[in-house]
Structure 1
Amino acid sequence: MLFRGCTCVPWPSTTGRGPFRADEGPVPDCSSGAVDRRDALCGMGAAALWATIGSLIGGARPARAQKLTEAMPEVDSLSIRVITDSFQQVFAAPARIGNVDVQPFSLGLTDKPPRHVLESEWGVSALLQTQSGTEQRSVLVDFGYTPETLMNNMALLQIRPDMLDAMLLTHGHYDHFGGMAGFLGANKGQFRSGVALYLGGEEAFCTREIVVPLTPPQSYNFGALDRNALQNAGVKVVFADRPTLIAGHIVATGPIGQRTFEHVTAPTRMSAGLADGYGCFPEQMPEAKRTAKSIPDDFSLIPCVNVRGRGLVVFTGCGHRGIVNTLRQAIAATGVEKIHAVMGGFHLAPERDGYVQETVAAIKQINPDFVLPMHCTGDLFAKLVEQDMPGKLIRINTGTRVIFRA
């Protein structure tokens, strides 16, 4: 099939398109008279392009999640294992705080030092495991920055792909999806049939640009999801653009609105359309975003679990939409007023001191039982929680397993 008068671009590779990288393959020659079936087509409208790509990859396209219509389910216990975070405290001691067990990962030394150890890097990945009666569910949330770290840590923590009932990406930033394509490619055929990846919408696929606050500000490519890697791995993509029940036990919040004083913290910019075979299809985007060249990044999808008799445990990813906004949306989406714990990145590290103080004061009014900061939260937040909300701060890091019980 030949398309004249166009510039062809390479189809995404299974390594994923990461930030700060050159193109991953040569640009096909449109004048050669033949274009390889893996090459993205050009000179076409978004609808036609989507239809053609669908024919090339078997007609698969994202499904839309069903609306949450029943009461938020309760579970007897929730275990959250931190697979990847920014640091590790090797000699942290286990603890029990109220009904919560905090279990750091042990090196497991015997007569010989271990050949492999957990690796920490910029990024987040966690395994959420629930128990309700005899039913157990396992959901992987985010994939960290590199597949090497993700797979190394999963192996040490004895987390297998065939354990997963679902996967969820909180938002389209590379430090949360960078490990995805390599992980999926390395484990093709090992996932359960029909396993789904939940995304907030087509925006998750948009190419992103990060702005570093230098003088003058510097902009860099911040990566894009690889559709082809998802298709090749046999993973079903589901858009959860409204409150959605996942694997029977977990509810994803749907879009997070601006309900409070908070602003979107450390936003990237995203662009509708394709670039070098990566990107999002404008016709699948909200109308206001279809023609914009640079769109503020407002996609975030947050998982919540209702622990029986305790309330919601909310895992924030990075909390770019504001941690208080996130908690308010979790309450609205689930109908559960009590926040038992909030855990994850809160992205307050680059914010001014007064903003962090205001955030802590607002969380104090919501009155969660526990606060477990990770990743991009910053030291000031943890210090203020320890000072203003005594007994509620739980410190965690790479490898920590936290168990919330009814």
Structure 2
Amino acid sequence: MSPIQIQLLYDNIPGAPGTKALWGFAAIITFGSADKRQRLLFDTGSNGRVLLANMAALGVAPTGIDWLFLSHQHWDHIGGLDSVLELNPGIKCVLHQGFSKHLMGDLDDLGIAYQIVADDPLEFTPGLHSTGLLASEPPEQALVLETPDGATVISGCAHPGMSALVAKANGFLPAPARRAIGGFHLMYSDGEAIEQEIQALRQLGITEVLATHCTGEAGIAAFARAFGEQARVGGAGAQWRL
């Protein structure tokens, strides 16, 4: 299998020149064999026009995306949904059963293909899994990417806790996940709670992180201190090759 590439497309952390920072999160994952590369869009940020502009600035064509994985139903993660579907109605969506039945009905009416994830983990295409639905407010799923040197867990906001998402992933992976990426939902947490989450992730086997979006400034700084060079910086355009 060719290397997996992860690139952030949307973030409230300032990113590459030509991109706009706005509250929300989205990333593009490129995976598969050399002769059959596929692309998955993880979440869609809060604003479709900004998402599409950032994609254009980073050379990502909406029509070249095969999958759309939505972590949860908050506005800052599905705000660009209609913009993506308008340009790419053939995309395959991965939702969970905590999403609104009205949203699913609209997708039916538009003829959009989608798959519903329940509580159990689901490998929806080889090497890519949903953790399954975790209870939180709102309910959330995370994406898990298998690679030879250890898996990567990508969250939208980690409302259940990033450590809970990683623990769920470790329950079905052959070896503990190594990397955690996304929003860690620590923006309202004090220093003690942030440190507890860092230690929990270390104990679960996480050695590399990219904490951004709703992690908060104090949380991002704490992860940078704890993980040093193994703490990546967010912002649209940030890349990670696995």
Normalising by structure 1, what TM-score? 0.55
Match of 1:134 among 19, 35, 39: 35
* Structure with the largest fraction of helix: 2
Question: Counterparts of 1:244 and 1:361 in 2: how far apart (Å)?
Answer: 27
Q: 1:159 — aligned with what?
A: 60
Quote the offset at 1:233 in angstroms: 4.5
Mapping 1:173-212, distance limit 5 Å: 173-185=74-86, 187=87, 190-192=88-90, 195-201=91-97, 203-205=98-100
- Secondary structure of 2:215 counterpart: coil
- Secondary structure of 1:360 counterpart: helix
Quote the offset at 1:251 in angstroms: 0.8
Quote the offset at 1:381 in angstroms: 2.2
RMSD, aligned CA: 2.1
Q: 2:234 — aligned with what?
A: 396
Quote the offset at 1:371 in angstroms: 0.6
Question: Counterparts of 2:36 and 2:26 in 1: how far apart (Å)?
Answer: 23
Per-residue CA deviation, residues 237-280 of structure 1 (Å, 9 max, x unaligned), is 210113222333311110236xxxxxx5xx4xxxxxxxxxxxxx
Q: 2:178 — aligned with what?
A: 340
- Tell which structure's C-alpha radius of gyration is larger: 1
Question: Counterparts of 2:50 and 2:226 in 1: how far apart (Å)?
Answer: 35
Q: 1:246 — aligned with what?
A: 124
Per-residue CA deviation, residues 349-381 of structure 1 (Å, 9 max, x unaligned), is 111221111111111222323110110001222
Question: Counterparts of 1:149 and 1:132 in 2: how far apart (Å)?
Answer: 31
Quote the offset at 1:226 in angstroms: 7.3
Question: Counterparts of 2:198 and 2:19 in 1: how far apart (Å)?
Answer: 31
Unaligned runs of 5+ in 1: 1-74, 90-104, 108-116, 207-223, 258-263, 268-296
Question: Counterparts of 1:226 and 1:146 in 2: how far apart (Å)?
Answer: 20
Match of 1:373 among 182, 205, 211: 211
Question: Counterparts of 2:162 and 2:238 in 1: how far apart (Å)?
Answer: 22
Quote the offset at 1:232 in angstroms: 5.3
Unaligned runs of 5+ in 2: none
8 Å contact kept, 1:364–1:389: no
Q: 2:140 — aligned with what?
A: 300
Matched, 1:383 2:230: no
- Secondary structure of 2:151 counterpart: strand
8 Å contact kept, 1:312–1:336: no
Normalising by structure 2, what TM-score? 0.90
8 Å contact kept, 2:11–2:235: yes
Q: 1:274 — aligned with what?
A: none
- Secondary structure of 1:362 counterpart: helix
Q: Judging changes above 3 Å, is the alpha-carbon distance between structure 1 residues 332 and 381 closer, same or farther for their aligned structure 2 residues?
A: same
Mapping 1:58-77, distance limit 5 Å: 75-77=1-3
Code of the residue aligned with 1:304 in structure 2: it is V
The percent identity for this pair of structures is 22
Match of 1:235 among 112, 134, 137: 112
Q: 2:13 — aligned with what?
A: 87
8 Å contact kept, 1:138–1:166: yes
Question: Counterparts of 1:392 and 1:233 in 2: how far apart (Å)?
Answer: 43
Code of the residue aligned with 1:198 in structure 2: it is V
Code of the residue aligned with 1:80 in structure 2: it is I
Question: Counterparts of 2:197 and 2:61 in 1: how far apart (Å)?
Answer: 37
Question: Counterparts of 1:314 and 1:172 in 2: how far apart (Å)?
Answer: 19
Per-residue CA deviation, residues 256-312 of structure 1 (Å, 9 max, x unaligned), is 36xxxxxx5xx4xxxxxxxxxxxxxxxxxxxxxxxxxxxxx3x2111111111x111
Question: Counterparts of 1:167 and 1:350 in 2: how far apart (Å)?
Answer: 29
8 Å contact kept, 1:205–1:225: yes
Code of the residue aligned with 2:156 in structure 1: it is G
Question: Counterparts of 2:221 and 2:202 in 1: how far apart (Å)?
Answer: 14
Question: Counterparts of 2:227 and 2:237 in 1: how far apart (Å)?
Answer: 25
Pairs aligned (count) = 241
Question: Counterparts of 1:345 and 1:372 in 2: how far apart (Å)?
Answer: 9
Q: Judging changes above 3 Å, is the alpha-carbon distance between structure 1 residues 191 and 157 closer, same or farther for their aligned structure 2 residues?
A: farther
Question: Counterparts of 1:155 and 1:390 in 2: how far apart (Å)?
Answer: 32
Quote the offset at 1:225 in angstroms: 4.0
- Secondary structure of 2:39 counterpart: strand
Question: Counterparts of 2:160 and 2:213 in 1: how far apart (Å)?
Answer: 16
